[in-house]
Structure 1
Amino acid sequence: MKKENVDVAIVGYGPVSKLLATLLGQKGWKVGVYERFPKPYPLPRAVVFDDEVARILQSILSGEEIERVTQAVPDFYEWVNADRKLLLGIDFSQFGISGWPSHLFFNQPELEEIMDTACRKQATVSVNLGSEAVGLSEFDDRAELIIKDVHGVETKVTAKYIVGCDGANSFVRKNIEHTITDLGFVADWLVIDIIPQVEREWKPMNLQVCDPARPTTVVSGGPGRRRWEFMAMPGETIEDMNKEEVAWKLLEPWDITPANSVLERHAIYTFKAQWVDEWRKGRLMLAGDAAHLTPPFMGQGMCAGLRDAKNLAWKLDLILKGLASDNLLDTYTKERKPHNRDVVEAALFLGNVICVADPEAAAKRDEAFFTGSVPPMPEFPFLTEGILYQQGNYTGKLSFQSQVNYQGKTGLFDDLIGDGWIVMSPIDDPRKVLREEQVTFLENIGAKFIQVSESSDTKQESPNLVVDVDGKYKQYFNETGLEAVLVRPDFYLFGGTEVLNELPLLVDDLVKQMGQFINTAATR
């Protein structure tokens, strides 16, 4: 049997794995990725991500790469009833707080191709396709994975940590003790991906038809593609629905025919709402669909998995550096599960609007929208648990990103400054109000100290000063009333303060919270 040693072994090679492996590779950690299929999956799956996820992808891809494989939305996402009367309009055309359009549609194989390139560029990352995980063991000081290649040759991979990014039928999950919370939502939908062969204007670009006779979703599938989703009605089986002739028949009223379009894929998806109760067991972790399944009504399935990877990456980095104990990983489930639960419940709220097959119930739903008596749509969740300052209105909210000028270059903040812990103020260099030991602590965990200035004078050559070229940071700080923020490596606010001189209170709280995990001897 062959033998390999890595810092982190990742099972599966979808977008969550690609992101996590690349982020760890950027830090120089030795990562082994093991995927049982010998070739990438060639067909579309997820089709949309939000501005937060665009910023996460910006950690490993250039803005030009992301823009090349995505399509922004110029208008509203319209929800209509059977008579095509508007029930709800969601503005998808705005930019989000993360510096990207609020929603971007994409073709998953194209996105994964550029993510794969970014991953393979990391000298310390090894990607192994056609390598199936067949054995798993955990010990006090290591974990071991048995991998079998397409020729039947087995390899024992010894790793400090193993992450299962291997989907809804996760091998890693099956091999660790776990329980699952299931909200009991199940719905079968026929998902059809089309490549139109004729130029056509789609207005609106994205449409939800809440017709009890056949709830239908019509959205972009990324540049040059369209997607239709048709709910299976009572009495229809998966076998009835999942046929090419059925797909063309359902598309015909939309003027989509073999004469003007290519049918790229048709498949039945069973939408579920469930999650594993603990995403970490010792040296083993779960991420993405291996940890949770989200109905697609908010387009958050892949997004949730990428948030998992971003959360795990900065914590594993501190642990592998010896700066923190692996108890820090206890915060992974604590932070990500409530956030994901809230996303699932918001998706179910929308699903319960859409998936109404009874005409009388649909009529009552429509009347509730027309009279304004429908319950308000849930707000998108933010972090509420874990390593967070427990005072202030902006704790756990996403931090702001926009264009800045830094040392003669203009671009998005992360591209010029990088990510990691960020201490930022529009008033002054935040280090000036911090004690020496606070600055030392923050520097030891990789923090950067940034002053945002409105003017581009000679001071901009300072390593701590960026220029707010569009005035967006000024607007953000004015609207929030904040004079300083402390940003986590996954872009969430640890906290903010309305008075710069109170920043030491935030840092003291961070030191206290991280103190239970930080190896003080290693940070001296």
Structure 2
Amino acid sequence: MKTTQDTEVLIVGAGPAGLMLANILGMYGKQVTVLEAMDTLIDYPRGVGLDDESFRTIQTVGLVDAIRPHTNPQHIMRLVNGAGKVMLVNNPQTVEFGWERKHGFIQPEADKALYEGLSRFGNVQVLFGYRVENVEEDGQSVTAIALVSRPDGTIEERRFSAQYLVGCEGGKSPTRKRLGVSFEGESPSTRWLVVDVNNDPLGTPNVFLGADPKRPYVSIGLPHAVRRWEFMLHDDETEEQVTDPDYVNALLADHVPNPAELDFIRRRVFTHHGRVASDFRKGRQLIAGDAAHLMPVWMGQGWNSGMRDATNLGWKLAAVLSGQADDALLDTYTSERKDHAQAMVDLSLTFGRLIKITNPVGAVLRDAASSVLNLFPQVKSYFADMRFKPMPRYTRGVLADPNTRESGSAAAKLTSKLIPVLTANVKNSPVGVQFPQPRVNSRDASDQLLDDAIGNWWSVIVWGNSPKDVLPQSSLDKLSLLGARLVAVVPETQREWAQKHMDPDVMVLGDHTGRLKKWFDDRPTPLVFLRPDRFVAGACLTQHAPETLDAILAAMKFTPAGAVTDAVAVPVAL
């Protein structure tokens, strides 16, 4: 008789998005089974860029110490023309979210750390060699039928039942195909040869994008002395031809004195894709990572976009599974993530077109334009600080509009006629964007990152005052059911006084860097409702707080009968 193994969430694919989602759900105490068709994790280099948003998620699940050794922080990118002249530099200095904006990294090592991190959770298992052949779904559950090879060579069928299934199997995702959603976009015909070597013969620790009209290329310095080159291929060059060692050595001859002496890791041809699924969820099945979107490599956002998916989806699944929220909360996963994934795909495609110009006249015009633009400090800073990268801003989802307190949407601008709004330095609404992560002092720790202080679930942050002093009891009762932490942020000079005089249930944080003071000084929103994924669900004047909270709970499909303790857990460090 065939037996069925039960779990809460079934993740298909042990790639980065699936492994991070499993870590987040494991942290929240949820039962997870990961099924991977391969026998092991992929061990060759793929993605090479890791950003600050991803590192913030890595911090949340307690894996910074495991992944940090495999990164190059402050990874500088230089766009150079065919003569080697630098046309623009991308070197953002911000640490707005607590970490450097850009890192080079070794993906196999990072993925391995995500996998090994799952050993902390007795409620999570990863099964290799399990190929999902079919999925059955009804109104209460979803069941995956998987095939696995037995030691005697026979094939065994295994069944796994869960409340939800998340497909993280990559660009050819069978889950996405089962859902019947479109995968819209383009796959440019341009092919590229990737060459990875050990014992980096150049030693430059950053990135060169070579906009050479004769043959565009990329040269990337990575941790552990790994060097990557990528060369654009001409239409008449076959894959067999360009992966031949002698041919590769000829391509590398302009970059190193003696290519034949290099320690090669791999030579592989690939094609860029720019596609986004029309929907990330149908019924009890969802998709994440490359299964939901594929993007060209130019902005280094493929791995990071998968991390954003896991960060957005993880807490929502935890809330639904714990009974805190209705199943409809999961619909906000698509409404919040799809537009930003599309924006990153579009930007990557545009950047690629700039680099891939092979027409000599077009290349000259591009180079001349870049020289002129670099004369303007604001334009130069626009590229250097990476302000061209669209940061996620949710306008629909688990939000409350700061102007109208409307539930489920948020305008990008503050439009109130109150004097605090009219005199604000920043007119952009903080709702729907990530809250910054400066360092703070608390009763228990000094100079710690904000997220480490406030924990991994909902928080209410008030500048200069106690949430218990500005919120009515009815709102405090709802926040208690939500499991939200009450936080007061004060200048460091006031912290000890506040700790003595404020309610002991309120966490008092000292702003010793002044960064939080500036954030609140620029915005007329002294009270912030912060989601588990560190996005601002609501920000308002304290008198608008009860109405704002009710709008957020409605957008979340909050069910007060849910068990708070099931949804909240503290991550276990390696």
TM-score by length of 2: 0.85
The 8 Å contact of residues 197 and 260 in structure 1, kept in 2 or not, is answered as no
| Deviation digits for residues 230-255 of structure 1 (CA, Å, limit 9, x no counterpart) | 11123223333233333332223221
Tell me, in whole angstroms, the C-alpha distance in 1 between the residues paired with 2:245 and 2:525: 56
**1:78 is aligned with what amino acid?**
R
Which shows bigger deviation, 262-271 or 137-146?
262-271
1:272 aligns with 2:253: no
SS at match of 1:253: coil
SS at match of 2:558: coil
The 8 Å contact of residues 401 and 413 in structure 1, kept in 2 or not, is answered as yes
Tell me, in whole angstroms, the C-alpha distance in 2 between the residues paired with 1:448 and 1:363: 57
CA gap of 1:452–1:304, structure 2 versus 1, over 3 A, is same
| Deviation digits for residues 346-365 of structure 1 (CA, Å, limit 9, x no counterpart) | 11221121111211111222
1:172 aligns with 2:149: no
User: In the alignment, which residue of structure 1 is the partner of 2:408?
Assistant: none
Tell me, in whole angstroms, the C-alpha distance in 1 between the residues paired with 2:167 and 2:245: 34
**1:161 is aligned with what amino acid?**
Y
CA gap of 1:396–1:367, structure 2 versus 1, over 3 A, is same
Tell me, in whole angstroms, the C-alpha distance in 1 between the residues paired with 2:362 and 2:431: 40
Tell me, in whole angstroms, the C-alpha distance in 2 between the residues paired with 1:2 and 1:511: 40
CA gap of 1:251–1:184, structure 2 versus 1, over 3 A, is closer
Give the alignment of 1:144-155 within 5 angstroms. 144-151=143-150, 152-155=155-158
**1:202 is aligned with what amino acid?**
T
Tell me, in whole angstroms, the C-alpha distance in 1 between the residues paired with 2:200 and 2:48: 19
User: In the alignment, which residue of structure 2 is the partner of 1:255?
Assistant: 256
Tell me, in whole angstroms, the C-alpha distance in 1 between the residues paired with 2:188 and 2:473: 53
User: In the alignment, which residue of structure 1 is the partner of 2:357?
Assistant: 356
1:120 aligns with 2:160: no
Q: What's the % identity of the aligned pairs?
A: 30
User: In the alignment, which residue of structure 1 is the partner of 2:391?
Assistant: 381
CA gap of 1:261–1:510, structure 2 versus 1, over 3 A, is same
CA gap of 1:134–1:229, structure 2 versus 1, over 3 A, is same
**1:491 is aligned with what amino acid?**
R
**1:382 is aligned with what amino acid?**
P
1:465 aligns with 2:508: yes
User: In the alignment, which residue of structure 1 is the partner of 2:460?
Assistant: 423
The 8 Å contact of residues 454 and 487 in structure 2, kept in 1 or not, is answered as no
| Deviation digits for residues 479-500 of structure 1 (CA, Å, limit 9, x no counterpart) | 4454222222112222323x44
User: In the alignment, which residue of structure 2 is the partner of 1:42?
Assistant: 43
Tell me, in whole angstroms, the C-alpha distance in 1 between the residues paired with 2:480 and 2:358: 57
User: In the alignment, which residue of structure 1 is the partner of 2:217?
Assistant: 216
1:452 aligns with 2:489: yes
| Deviation digits for residues 78-127 of structure 1 (CA, Å, limit 9, x no counterpart) | 111112222211114x1332100011111011111211111122110111
Following superposition, the deviation at residue 21 of structure 1 comes to: 0.8
Tell me, in whole angstroms, the C-alpha distance in 2 between the residues paired with 1:522 and 1:408: 30
SS at match of 2:110: helix
| Deviation digits for residues 359-404 of structure 1 (CA, Å, limit 9, x no counterpart) | 1111222222223399987441322322223334222221111222
SS at match of 1:495: strand
1:519 aligns with 2:559: yes
The 8 Å contact of residues 538 and 549 in structure 2, kept in 1 or not, is answered as no
Following superposition, the deviation at residue 34 of structure 1 comes to: 0.4
Tell me, in whole angstroms, the C-alpha distance in 1 between the residues paired with 2:477 and 2:389: 38
Which shows bigger deviation, 400-409 or 205-214?
400-409
1:414 aligns with 2:466: no
The 8 Å contact of residues 71 and 223 in structure 1, kept in 2 or not, is answered as no
User: In the alignment, which residue of structure 2 is the partner of 1:136?
Assistant: 135
SS at match of 1:409: coil
The 8 Å contact of residues 186 and 272 in structure 1, kept in 2 or not, is answered as no
SS at match of 2:225: coil
The 8 Å contact of residues 484 and 500 in structure 1, kept in 2 or not, is answered as yes
User: In the alignment, which residue of structure 2 is the partner of 1:508?
Assistant: 550
SS at match of 1:457: helix
Tell me, in whole angstroms, the C-alpha distance in 2 between the residues paired with 1:173 and 1:312: 16
The 8 Å contact of residues 538 and 552 in structure 2, kept in 1 or not, is answered as no
User: In the alignment, which residue of structure 2 is the partner of 1:341?
Assistant: 342
The 8 Å contact of residues 3 and 158 in structure 2, kept in 1 or not, is answered as yes
Following superposition, the deviation at residue 459 of structure 1 comes to: 4.3
The 8 Å contact of residues 389 and 506 in structure 1, kept in 2 or not, is answered as yes
Give the alignment of 1:215-254 within 5 angstroms. 215-254=216-255
CA gap of 1:521–1:67, structure 2 versus 1, over 3 A, is closer
User: In the alignment, which residue of structure 1 is the partner of 2:567?
Assistant: none
The 8 Å contact of residues 106 and 223 in structure 1, kept in 2 or not, is answered as no
**1:98 is aligned with what amino acid?**
F
User: In the alignment, which residue of structure 2 is the partner of 1:488?
Assistant: 531
User: In the alignment, which residue of structure 2 is the partner of 1:474?
Assistant: 517
Tell me, in whole angstroms, the C-alpha distance in 2 between the residues paired with 1:267 and 1:385: 41
SS at match of 1:46: coil
Following superposition, the deviation at residue 307 of structure 1 comes to: 0.8
Following superposition, the deviation at residue 186 of structure 1 comes to: 4.2
Give the alignment of 1:262-301 within 5 angstroms. 262-301=263-302
Tell me, in whole angstroms, the C-alpha distance in 2 between the residues paired with 1:161 and 1:258: 50
Tell me, in whole angstroms, the C-alpha distance in 1 between the residues paired with 2:222 and 2:523: 36
The 8 Å contact of residues 343 and 381 in structure 1, kept in 2 or not, is answered as no
| Deviation digits for residues 296-331 of structure 1 (CA, Å, limit 9, x no counterpart) | 111100111111111111111111111222111111
Following superposition, the deviation at residue 52 of structure 1 comes to: 0.7
Tell me, in whole angstroms, the C-alpha distance in 2 between the residues paired with 1:187 and 1:436: 62
Which shows bigger deviation, 444-453 or 8-17?
444-453
**1:268 is aligned with what amino acid?**
V
CA gap of 1:147–1:412, structure 2 versus 1, over 3 A, is same
CA gap of 1:421–1:302, structure 2 versus 1, over 3 A, is same
SS at match of 2:352: helix
User: In the alignment, which residue of structure 2 is the partner of 1:435?
Assistant: 472
| Deviation digits for residues 52-80 of structure 1 (CA, Å, limit 9, x no counterpart) | 11001112234332321211126x42111
Tell me, in whole angstroms, the C-alpha distance in 2 between the residues paired with 1:265 and 1:460: 58
Tell me, in whole angstroms, the C-alpha distance in 2 between the residues paired with 1:407 and 1:261: 54
SS at match of 1:120: helix
Tell me, in whole angstroms, the C-alpha distance in 2 between the residues paired with 1:221 and 1:104: 9
TM-score by length of 1: 0.93
Which shows bigger deviation, 400-409 or 353-362?
400-409
SS at match of 1:368: helix
Give the alignment of 1:398-409 within 5 angstroms. 398-409=434-445
User: In the alignment, which residue of structure 1 is the partner of 2:91?
Assistant: 91
Tell me, in whole angstroms, the C-alpha distance in 2 between the residues paired with 1:73 and 1:523: 42
**2:473 is aligned with what amino acid?**
E
Which shows bigger deviation, 279-288 or 61-70?
61-70
**1:403 is aligned with what amino acid?**
R
The 8 Å contact of residues 97 and 398 in structure 1, kept in 2 or not, is answered as no
Q: What is the number of equivalent residue pairs in this alignment?
A: 517
SS at match of 2:400: coil
SS at match of 1:112: helix
Which shows bigger deviation, 468-477 or 269-278?
468-477
Which shows bigger deviation, 124-133 or 441-450?
441-450
User: In the alignment, which residue of structure 1 is the partner of 2:7?
Assistant: 6
